[in-house]
Structure 1
Amino acid sequence: MSLLLICHIGFVGAVEKQQTSAQDPLYDGPYLFEQTKTQQSQQAYWICASELQATRVINNELKRPNECGKLPEPKLNPKAKEIAANTYTNVSKIVALSDVHGQYDVLITLLKNQKIIDEHNNWVYGTGHMVMTGDMFDRGHQVNEVLWFMYKLDKQASDAGGKLHLLMGNHEQMVMRGDLRYVNERYQTAEKLLERSYDELYDSSSEIGQWLRSKHTIVKINDSLFLHGGISGEWVDRELTLDKANQVYRANIDKSKPELKSDDLLNFLFLGNGPTWFRGYFEDDYQESEINRVLAYFDVKHIVVGHTSQTRVLGLFNNKVLAVDSSIKNGQSGELLLITPNEGQDTLIRGLYDGSRVTL
């Protein structure tokens, strides 16, 4: 759908309210798209008690309408779409987690209890780096809340001298190419009221969509490699670099599945045994010699992955592989991984849901 149709919805205080079918009142948003020539000002769109409303964006701030629950009120970041480096060294501390899948409440509780954020959900991890190894989309009912929270944390981390690394998982890629099989039914209301399919809510005309499209799929921090699924030996055989792969991912994220399958490199990177889908580390016949080959290629000691669900943060092959998908997607609890360099030997800690910590 074109932005012109959205603009016809109206302006602040004059939006024609549209009622959804008889369900419990739903609160969702904000949704923000590029301002068009026909708009006098940029507008943010909200669903308040299952009705569509809009507010003007003033001084880069989004303010929700009155009586619209506790939806996020983000401040826009002019630097949100800047492309970061692929590799970082001398980072004093790292925290990693994965596969939140719209479970905002579990995410917030875990980060608070582990003192990554404060009681007001603000960054307190200082100059540390936080890595979310993909899959914020799909399954759960608070995807938009997770995305705007991460958007805010991205700026707060940078302002403190730290960094948030938001890596693309297979579910981010699926949504962007219109594979909507796992979208929570809650978002049918937003699709109907905004007259956009779910993937169009986060397309390249949207603030969140542009922000996500600037992000990497793989990053190297100190002596650890972080990504969603895993690196197979095929990557080494193809002699791919992080820089090339991340560029290819960003340039082709919106292509359809047939388009991706028609190109040998794109088919590998986006599908099959590519880095966002590979699960080989967890198969019984996987050989440690293969992981040693991958580690040597990247000159790292650890590969940190999500994607394959566990009941806890797990170390495999003498902690050469660190699995951080702790099943947050179930909406009950979760863990994170804390990495601290220590005289050439990383200290690896499981950060538990209740705030306690256990050596891995």
Structure 2
Amino acid sequence: MLRPLLFVALLCVLVMYYRQGSSSSSVPSRSSSSSSSSPRRKTPPDSPAYQKPFSSSDQTTHANRVVAVGDLHSDLPQTLAVLRLAKVIDNDANWSGGRDTLVQTGDIVDRGPDTIAIYNLFDKLRSQAKEAGGQVVNVYGNHEVMNLGGDLRYVTEEDYASFGGREKRKQAWNVKTGWLGKMIYDNFNITHVQNGHTVFSHGDMEPEWARLGVDTLNHLAREAIWTSNYYAPIFQGSGPIWSRSHAMLEGGEEETCRRVNEVKTALGVNRLISGHTPQYQTGKILSICDGGYMVIDVGISRYYGGHLAVLEILENDDGTQSVYALYPGGKRLV
């Protein structure tokens, strides 16, 4: 009896020895890298830093991030919703975009009650973004120019009341003496080129205007506004705050894309981005000419259906850009 018991005891000792050796070999040493010694903490989905992967091509390192939103038309709740979708503001409506660039393509005003609140919001975000190393860019829409020039046909009674009446509203919009007029004049341009790859304007940029160059266009607009020349050619139908020729495919898609390519060549950019022509029937960003032209006015305000969409441009290290549409339901390549 003693011999079998000794054999069993010896077998147990051998099993315990091999188990201990196996478990100890799976524990990393203190000299191991931090990535192997402890798991990385995942970013929660509601964090501004979180970005759901779209595809393997979206896993590269990006030098910069640009987001753009279209017409807002005095609807503060929808404005806050679309800026949160863009991940550039937090729950307290403060800048959370870090070094991102936010471009808004005009028509903040008219058709709703929240004019003051939205312009003040962008003014605050402009300052906060600059402190964080980011940027907020605003371009004139036709409705900004209309209000500066006294064309008030789309102003709501709630809007007038928020200023304290019609006369006080008129005083506020004066570019030389009014608090809002001066804010707009000091911070808005008629067009913007982002790092040489994308041109933003409210309406469509026609080749005839593009050949003048961005600096000339912005100078012409500022001069016309300062001198109250709201009948200047740059503010007329073919100018970059009113034209819809590309969005309406005037002359057909082939002719439209030919003209789009003329603009791209004249300005040395890869794509044109416009607002102005609401895509409220689809609620989606319009993209034609192989992504060379896009319309980002999707009808964000409830007046046009309350659709949310953000254009996102990721500037890659190799000089290319990855372009996406952000919707409440997800992120899509465009």
TM-score range, shorter chain: 0.7 to 0.9
Shift of residue 115, structure 1, vs aligned partner: 1.7
Distance change in 2, residues 1:143/1:91 (3 Å): farther
1:188 shift after superposition: 3.2
Write the letter of the residue equivalent to 2:173: Y
Larger Rg: 2
What is the distance in 2 between the residues matched to 1:250 and 1:208? Answer: 16
Q: CA separation in 2, counterparts of 1:152 and 1:211?
A: 11
Q: In the alignment, which of 301, 307, 323 is matched to residue 270 of structure 2?
A: 301
Asked whether 1:118 is paired with 2:93, we answer: no
Which structure features the higher share of helix residues? 2
1:316, CA displacement in angstroms?
Answer: 1.2
Pairing 1:152–2:121 present: no
CA–CA distance in structure 2, aligned partners of residues 179 and 225 of structure 1: 27
1:339 matched residue in structure 2? 313
Q: How many angstroms does 1:211 deviate by?
A: 1.4
Instruction: Give the one of 256, 261, 265 matched to 1:292.
Output: 261
Please identify, of 276-285 and 92-101, the stretch whose mean Cα deviation from structure 2 is larger.
Answer: 276-285
State the one-letter code of the partner of 2:113: H
Which amino acid is 1:344 matched to?
A: G
User: Are residues 1:225 and 2:218 paired?
Assistant: no
Contact 1:333 1:353 in 2 (8 A): no
Contact 1:180/1:199, CA 8 A, preserved across alignment: no
Match of 2:147 among 171, 175, 181: 175
**2:313 match: secondary structure:** strand
Q: Helix, strand or coil: the match of 2:125?
A: helix
Q: Which residue of 1 aligns with 2:54?
A: none
Shift of 1:181: 0.2
User: Which residue does the alignment assign to 1:77?
Assistant: none
Task: Please state whether the residue corresponding to 2:128 is helix, strand or coil.
Answer: helix
Query: Is the alpha carbon distance of 1:247 and 1:221 closer, same or farther for their aligned partners in structure 2, counting shifts above 3 Å?
Result: same
CA distance in 2 between partners of 1:147 and 1:168 (Å): 12
Asked if 2 retains the 8 angstrom alpha-carbon contact of 1:91 and 1:128, the reply is no
Instruction: Check if 1:202 corresponds to 2:173.
Output: yes
- Which residue is 1:16 aligned to? none
1:294 counterpart letter in structure 2: V
Equivalent AA in structure 1 for residue 320 of structure 2: Q
Q: Which residue identity is paired with 2:174?
A: D
Question: Paired residue for 2:138?
Answer: 166
Q: Given that residues 93 and 128 in structure 1 are in contact (C-alpha distance below 8 angstroms), is that contact kept between their aligned partners in structure 2? A: yes
Alpha-carbon distance, 1:276 to partner: 0.4
Residue equivalent to 1:19: none
Question: Any idea what the Cα deviations from partners look like across 1:302-338, whole Å, max 9, x if unmatched?
Answer: 0111000112112111110021101013352321100
Q: Which letter maps to 1:230?
A: D
Paired-residue identity, %: 27
Distance 2:235 2:83 in 1: 30
Tell me the SS of whatever aligns to 1:322.
strand
Q: Please give the secondary structure, in 2, of the residue aligned with 1:156.
A: helix
Count of paired positions? 260
- The question of 1:244 aligning with 2:219 is answered no
Aligned positions of 1:33-44 closer than 5 A: none
Distance 1:347 1:274, change over 3 A: same
Query: What does residue 52 of structure 2 align with?
Result: none
List aligned pairs for 1:93-108, cutoff 5 A. Answer: 93-108=65-80
Say if 1:303 and 1:189 are closer, same or farther in 2 by CA, change over 3 A.
same
What are structure 1's unaligned runs of at least 5 residues? 1-89
Residues 240 and 145 of structure 1: CA distance in aligned 2, closer, same or farther (over 3 Å): same
Question: Does residue 1:271 correspond to 2:236, yes or no?
Answer: yes
Q: Which residue of 2 aligns with 1:186?
A: 158
Does residue 313 in structure 1 map to residue 288 in structure 2? no
Between the aligned partners of 2:106 and 2:63, the Cα distance in structure 1 is 21
1:131 and 1:217 map into 2 onto residues whose CA distance is: 12
On the 8 A contact 1:139/1:183 being kept in 2, the answer is yes
**RMSD of the alignment, in Å?**
1.9
Q: Distance in 1 between matches of 2:86 and 2:161?
A: 35
Measured in 2, the distance between the counterparts of 1:250 and 1:93 equals 28
How big is the shift at 1:201? 2.2
Aligned to 1:49: none
Quote how far apart the aligned CAs of 1:282 are.
Answer: 1.9
CA contact under 8 A between 1:177 and 1:255: conserved in structure 2? no
The 1-side partners of 2:323 and 2:98 are apart by 19
TM-score norm. by structure 2 comes to 0.73
